[in-house]
């Protein structure tokens, strides 16, 4: 008997969940026809939640703060988002959360000054951005269709002064179970009131479309978790100093990532795995030539060995960089509440393009934003985190498998990747190669290199698949071990 495939067109989760549950205990697939509120309630209450994950909801969201996206919507792996970029789209002065007549005067001051500082920084570095861009792409000078590209470089780097209150629009897809999980935490102080307001609106549009789920939704309480932390800059000073100390005792200087632990510490474990599977006819390799954009390491049996190598890094990056790092959802991290890790003088990232001539002007504007934050936090305002600029550094621990990191490396070692996450990924790659170079060399396709370099080494044309979006630097021309200095 050959396989039969039918596309399910019914979108109401309540009906799909019932049919899916009944099919688990029947001799054949149960048609998607009837609603069964009693069975639905029983399934949810008893924890048989997979039946509710066959249908997802795609929301068009706008006016959501980047803080809430970072703190709630993207803080777990069970979502998909397509979010407006601050790198390639200029921020509108009207797009800030909480700018009401009743807003705290210091909060209003933080937003208004940030808007002003953003435009000032854009104007300040635009001539340098134009010079650097046309140094890479001399043939594009005078071609009107590329006039905006240097502006995007200026927007990308000036965005560091923007606060987390900056709002965005995005397509966001989750299933019903994830929506219930969000409800169970959305009333926490670290999200309130924006978190509850957003999740409530999402829930209302879902129940309007599929009212049979209402009783389940009502059974989940608006929950709180103790995640807000407290503002104690003296305590944060001590903790951050302790966190940073290992960075100072290394032979090489690492600014963003420090390998704290890894496994295995020798080749014995992999030798045992390899002998067993090779004897049974499976030759391990990482995604073949690995120039596919599908990230097959996670689904291919012949790359599964990459799940047996684990790394834990101490990371120190800006909020902006961390928001991008979150998108690698198979990499998990541990971070204290944001308010709790803010020191008496928070440190922050300075993009390369401001150095050296504009660094003082940049720092002056960042520190003005930090003074607003300190005032708000000192007053006990739980919304003070919204005033923090993107540039502020956060500290956390990150754990990943080799396969998870290989995907990050393929995406973030690309010269089109944002400067800071490129630097952090470069540091992580160097340290992984130092402890597990033998492993990466032992299996085909194991190199930690950008996709364009791999394609060039495999004699594939063109090396870069980005078309006119390519970086303009030809990283495949570098000698092995040679470092590239990024000017922006």
Q: What is the DSSP letter of 327?
A: T
Taking only the tens place, the pLDDT of each residue in 94-116 is 999 998 888 899 999 999 999 99
Query: Which one is the CATH code of 233-343+393-477: 3.40.50.2300, 3.30.1360.170, 2.40.50.140, 3.20.20.10?
Result: 3.30.1360.170
Of 9-13, 281-285, 373-377, the one with minimum mean pLDDT is: 281-285
Helix (H, G, I), strand (E, B) or coil at 388: coil
What are the residue boundaries of the structural domains of the chain, listed by start? 1-54, 105-165+352-387, 233-343+393-477
Beta bridge partners of residue 166, listed in sequence order: 96
Token output for 468? 């006119």
How far apart CA 415 and CA 425 sit, in angstroms, is: 11
pLDDT of residue 289: 44
How far apart CA 86 and CA 152 sit, in angstroms, is: 9
Helix (H, G, I), strand (E, B) or coil at 312: strand
Residues 6 or more apart whose Cβ sits within 8 Å of residue 447: 440, 454
Q: Is the pLDDT of residue 282 over 60?
A: no
Please report, for residues 224, 303, 325, 380, 463, the alpha-carbon distance to residue 263 in angstroms, rounded to integers and kept in the order given.
36, 17, 22, 43, 33
Taking only the tens place, the pLDDT of each residue in 379-433 is 988 789 999 999 999 999 999 999 899 989 989 999 999 999 999 999 999 999 9
Tokens 């390799």 label which residue? 285
Place 265 in a pLDDT band, splitting at 50, 70 and 90.
Answer: confident
Q: Is the pLDDT of residue 279 over 90?
A: no
Helix (H, G, I), strand (E, B) or coil at 56: strand
Q: Is the pLDDT of residue 234 over 90?
A: yes
Is the link from the previous residue into 150 a cis peptide, with omega within 30 of 0? Answer: no
Helices then strands (H, E): number in the chain?
15, 7
Among 93, 91, 111, CA closest to 103: 111
Please report, for residues 178, 257, 410, 463, the alpha-carbon distance to residue 423 in angstroms, rounded to integers and kept in the order given.
33, 9, 13, 22
Beta bridge partners of residue 333, listed in sequence order: 398
Please report, for residues 62, 292, 349, 387, the alpha-carbon distance to residue 59 in angstroms, rounded to integers and kept in the order given.
10, 29, 33, 27
Place 281 in a pLDDT band, splitting at 50, 70 and 90.
Answer: low
pLDDT of residue 283: 59
Taking only the tens place, the pLDDT of each residue in 142-159 is 999 999 999 999 999 999
Cβ-contact 124, 353 below 8 angstroms: no
How far apart CA 213 and CA 207 sit, in angstroms, is: 6
How far apart CA 118 and CA 451 sit, in angstroms, is: 34
Token output for 49? 């939640």
Q: Is the pLDDT of residue 472 over 60?
A: yes
pLDDT of residue 89: 95
Q: Considering the chain, what percentage of its residues have pLDDT values greater than 70? A: 94
How far apart CA 92 and CA 278 sit, in angstroms, is: 58
Give the chain's largest Cα–Cα span. 74
Q: Count the neighbouring beta carbons within 10 Å of the beta carbon of residue 89.
A: 13
Q: Is the pLDDT of residue 355 over 50?
A: yes
Among 270, 278, 277, CA closest to 310: 270
Q: What is the pTM of this model?
A: 0.93
Token output for 185? 């935490």
pLDDT of residue 70: 97
pLDDT of residue 447: 81
Place 445 in a pLDDT band, splitting at 50, 70 and 90.
Answer: confident
Tokens 């897809």 label which residue? 173
- The residue count of the chain comes to 488
Is the link from the previous residue into 193 a cis peptide, with omega within 30 of 0? Answer: yes
């Amino acid at each position: 008997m050959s396989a039969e495939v039918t596309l399910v067109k019914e979108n109401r989760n309540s009906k799909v969940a019932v049919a899916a549950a009944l099919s688990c205990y029947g001799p054949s697939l149960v048609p998607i026809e009837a609603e069964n509120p009693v069975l639905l309630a029983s399934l949810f209450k008893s924890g048989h939640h997979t039946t509710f994950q066959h249908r997802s909801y795609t929301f068009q969201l706008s006016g959501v703060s980047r803080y809430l996206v970072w703190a709630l919507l993207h803080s777990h792996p069970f979502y998909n988002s397509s979010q407006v970029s601050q790198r390639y789209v200029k921020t509108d002065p009207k797009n800030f959360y909480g700018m009401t007549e009743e807003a705290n005067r210091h909060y209003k001051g933080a937003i208004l000054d940030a808007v002003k500082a953003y435009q000032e920084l854009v104007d300040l570095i635009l001539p340098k951005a134009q010079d650097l861009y046309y140094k890479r792409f001399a043939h594009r000078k005078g071609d009107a269709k590329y006039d905006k590209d240097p502006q995007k470089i200026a927007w990308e780097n000036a965005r560091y002064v923007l606060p987390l209150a900056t709002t965005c629009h995005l397509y966001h897809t989750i299933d019903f179970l994830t929506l219930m999980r969000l409800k169970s935490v959305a009333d926490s102080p670290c999200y309130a009131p924006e978190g509850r307001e957003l999740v409530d609106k999402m829930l209302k549009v879902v129940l309007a479309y599929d009212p049979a789920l209402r009783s389940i939704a009502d059974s989940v309480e608006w929950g709180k978790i103790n995640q807000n932390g407290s503002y104690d800059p003296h305590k944060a000073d001590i903790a951050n100093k302790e966190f940073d100390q290992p960075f100072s005792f290394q032979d090489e200087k690492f600014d963003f990532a420090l390998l704290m632990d890894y496994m295995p510490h020798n080749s014995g474990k992999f030798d045992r795995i390899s002998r067993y599977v090779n004897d049974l006819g499976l030759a391990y390799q990482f995604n073949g030539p690995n120039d596919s954009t599908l990230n097959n390491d996670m689904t291919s049996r012949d790359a599964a060995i990459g799940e047996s190598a684990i790394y834990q890094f101490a990371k120190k990056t800006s909020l902006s960089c961390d928001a991008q790092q979150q998108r690698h959802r198979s990499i998990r991290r541990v971070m204290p509440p944001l308010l709790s890790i803010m020191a008496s003088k928070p440190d922050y990232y300075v993009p390369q393009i401001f150095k050296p001539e504009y660094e003082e002007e940049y720092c002056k504007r960042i520190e003005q934003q930090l003074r607003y934050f300190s005032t708000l936090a000192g007053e006990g305002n739980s919304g003070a985190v919204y005033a923090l600029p993107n540039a502020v550094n956060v500290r956390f621990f990150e754990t990943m498998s080799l396969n998870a990191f290989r995907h990050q490396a393929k995406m973030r070692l690309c010269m089109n990747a944002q400067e800071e996450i490129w630097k952090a990924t470069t540091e992580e790659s160097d340290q992984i190669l130092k402890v597990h170079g033998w492993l990466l060399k032992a299996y085909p396709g194991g190199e930690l290199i950008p996709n364009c370099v791999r394609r060039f080494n495999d004699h594939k044309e063109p090396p870069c698949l980005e078309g006119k979006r390519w970086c303009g630097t030809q990283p495949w021309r570098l000698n092995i071990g040679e470092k590239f200095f990024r000017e922006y």
